[in-house]
Amino acid sequence: MCDRQVEKTIRLQEDIIGARQAGRDLARAAGFGTVDQTRIATAISELVRNALLHAGGGLCRIAVETTEASATLQVTVSDDGPGIPDIALAMQPGHSTTRGLGLGLSAVRSLMGGLSIESRPGRTTVVTSMTRRR
Amino acid sequence: MTTLAATIAATIADREAEIREAWFEQIEALAGRMELPHLAQSLRAEAADFLVAFIGALRSGESDLQDDGLAVVLRKAAEISAARARDGFTPSETAAFVMSLKDALLPVVIAAYRTAPAELGEAITGANRMVDALAVETFASYTRTREEIIERQSRSILDLSTPTLRIWNGILLMPLVGIIDTQRAQQVMEAMLTAITREEARVAILDVTGVPVIDTRVCLHLTRTVAAARLLGARVVVTGISPDAAQTLVKLDVDLSGMITRGSLRAGLAEALRLIGSSVGALVREAS
């Protein structure tokens, strides 16, 4: 249907703004409500900042897939950083290696409804998506 | 090959006046299309300037634009397109400006080689290549200038000062606008703590209406600022959290229970007045 995709390279602090703005715009275009738009933008903010903090940058891809019955927005953030040694531990609320709150990943999971992480040294890919019924 | 290229260069150089006229006509038409007729004059000046450098380079025998000898021309092209970028030209308008040289150049080349059809093809290719190389350089420099402008702007947005306003006896207001990164949060905290001490404020209102996304990092900075202010004996009231942000914040699972939050600045001010045990009516009575 009217599928769209945006790719943002993340290298600087400012790129975080660009990525979440793109996510908000795509979500709005796909008919997500303002609450969902805010959730999506916040989730992108978390993931992209993780890539920036832990890997010095990465790539953020936001794709929208629309069918008759639903619209799905998928966010994929990948980086070539050191990787996440223990994914289960990283997902635990309160665990942080950078003296942050350690809530980012668990927040993304509850904001978006799902989260999958694939990680090895040199390649980490985090995928999350939100679906809206029409 | 080299000799032929040199002849082409010489042919073009000899017809400088002709080309200038033709280019001016093109520019006139271009400015007309862009509905900026007053621009034609400055464009003509730039074009004339540029053509002198271009012809000068051709005369010196540097017909290959890859050559260092034409660095002057390329620099000129870069200067012009940088000026175009600052003037707010679109990329296609900037490209159209340089490409209009080709429209001026080709008829002259074709006319010059009418008698030597065998060399015409190569002459056209040569002229094309020169202008194309210029256009590529122009475009690259246009993009560079734009990127510099964007970078400078985003830096200046980050550098926006964080004002602290004393809105009542003992009450400070800090409106936060834009992205809150670590560096910015540090500024905010410093400004706030200094102001609290200076004004002997008991309440500081932190208005986050202008913060586009409140994520866990922003929450971290907020909680730290609140804790630091508390050490100075001041309470922080956070206002301006939108309904959307509120629904997102509960999902973040961040503990904000230690923070006083109000939806609107008005409600925040009322709470601040309550905290210092004052009210507008009382103060108005006091003053009169």
> Is B216 touching A (CB cutoff 8 A)?
yes
What pLDDT does B287 receive? Answer: 57
Q: Tell which CATH classification among 3.90.1150.10, 3.50.50.60, 3.30.565.10, 3.30.70.260 matches the domain A4-133.
A: 3.30.565.10
List all residues 6 or more positions away from B1 whose beta carbon is below 8 Å from its beta carbon.
none
| Segment A59-71 mean pLDDT | 90
Complex ipTM over 0.90:
no
DSSP output for B60-87: TT---TTSGGGHHHHHHHHHHHHHHHHT
What pLDDT does B1 receive? Answer: 42
For chain A, the domains span 4-133
Secondary structure E strands in chain B: 165-168, 171-177, 203-210, 235-239, 260-262
B276: which DSSP letter? T
| Closest CA in chain A for residue B220 | A101
Q: How far is A94 from chain B (nearest CA, A)?
A: 10
Reported as a single tens digit per residue, the pLDDT across A89-107 is 888 888 888 777 888 888 8
How far is residue A42 CA from its own chain's centroid?
Answer: 9
Question: Who has greater pLDDT, A121 or B91?
Answer: A121
Q: How far is B213 from chain A (nearest CA, A)?
A: 6
What pLDDT does B67 receive? Answer: 56
Q: Look at residue B166 and give its three-state secondary structure.
A: strand
pLDDT cut 70: percent of chain A above it? 99
Nearest to B215 among A21, A46, A106 (CB): A46
Taking 70 as the pLDDT cut, the residues of chain B under it are 1-5, 36-38, 59-70, 157-161, 279-288
Q: Cβ of B219 and A14 within 8 Å?
A: no
Reported as a single tens digit per residue, the pLDDT across A67-95 is 888 889 999 999 998 988 888 888 888 88
**Distance in angstroms (rounded) separating the CA atoms of residues B162 and B192:** 9
Q: Residue A13: list chain B partners with CB under 8 A.
A: 158, 179, 181
**CA within 13 Å, CB half, A27:** 27
